[in-house]
Amino acid sequence: IPDLFVVGYGIDWAEHYRHLSYIGAVRFL
């Protein structure tokens, strides 16, 4: 996995994206 966090489906970043119903990625630019 590149330099990003995968979020969604219960995987969360600081509990901000737990509600997403899909897998997304948060990039830190």
Residues 1-29 have pLDDT tens digits of 456 666 555 555 555 555 555 556 666 65
- CA atoms within 13 Å, Cβ hemisphere of 1: 9
Which pTM does this prediction carry?
A: 0.16
Strands (E), the chain: 4-7, 24-27
pLDDT for the residue 2: 58
Q: What pLDDT, on a 0 to 100 scale, did the predictor assign at position 14?
A: 52
Q: What is the pLDDT of residue 8?
A: 54
Dihedral pair phi/psi, residue 6, rounded to 5°: -95, 130
What's residue 29's pLDDT?
56
- Residue 23: which domain range? 1-29
Distance CA 23, CA 8 (A): 5
Into how many domains does the chain fold?
A: 1
pLDDT value at residue 22: 58
